[in-house]
Amino acid sequence: MAGDHATLWTSHTGGDFGGCVHDGTLTFEALYGIQDSILQTPEVSSGSTEGRSMHPRFLEKVEGLHASYEKLIAMTPHAGTPPPTNIPVGGVYLFSEGDEPLYVGRSNRLRERYFLHTRNGSRHNQASFAFRIAFQLLDLPAARYTKEGGRKEIALMEDFIREFAAAKTRIRNMNYRYVEETDQTRQALLEIYVATVLYTPYNDFRTH
């Protein structure tokens, strides 16, 4: 396995979550402020939140996130080669270099999404990870969702074209992991969970 999943875990959790980390282990209950009794016996049919720190419907979605995270990290990655054709259709994926996690994403077409990130012909709105790598390397001002200074204009810059192509080559040589998740709400939450725990530098959940 390229990279020790225990190293991925401890190097990106220790000290970052205060009381949520104990002996290198992220305490799920502490992270979400969930009492043990609620975590063990969620009454998902009830709409009442009295005396609880989280609504049971939401609790039902989040309580399995850490198990999926551990499965993702424990996976032997595909290193420098495309994933096989029999991988899960939908889920959350992770790109990393050695023990350094860099980018988390989600897709209902995991294998196709891998190729969009790495294919030479992928455009700026298809290879979002490569776009962010090139964007940061060139230290460009924040892209605006307008014609002037927007992504399309940036994509035409000569320096950006060069760095964007290099970034896709770099991503092709990264470790690629994934975990299946077909529930769309849980998939979205898992993406945020993994990116937050691993503190991946190329994830940005800001909106406009």
pTM: 0.75
Structure tokens at 120: 């030479």
Tally DSSP H helices, then E strands, for the chain. 10, 6
* Residue 50 belongs to a domain: no
Residue 13 forms part of a structural domain: no
User: Residue 106: how many CA atoms within 13 Å on its side-chain side?
Assistant: 19
Percentage of the chain lying above the pLDDT 70 cut: 71
Using pLDDT thresholds of 50, 70 and 90, give the confidence band for residue 8: low
Residue with tokens 């499965």: 71
Q: Cα(74)–Cα(1) distance, rounded to whole angstroms? A: 9
CB 31 within 8 A of CB 20: yes
**Residue 136 lies inside a defined structural domain of this protein:** yes
Region 161-187 average pLDDT: 97
Counting the structural domains of the chain, the total is: 1
Is residue 42 a part of any domain in this protein? no
Domain that holds residue 189: 66-71+79-198
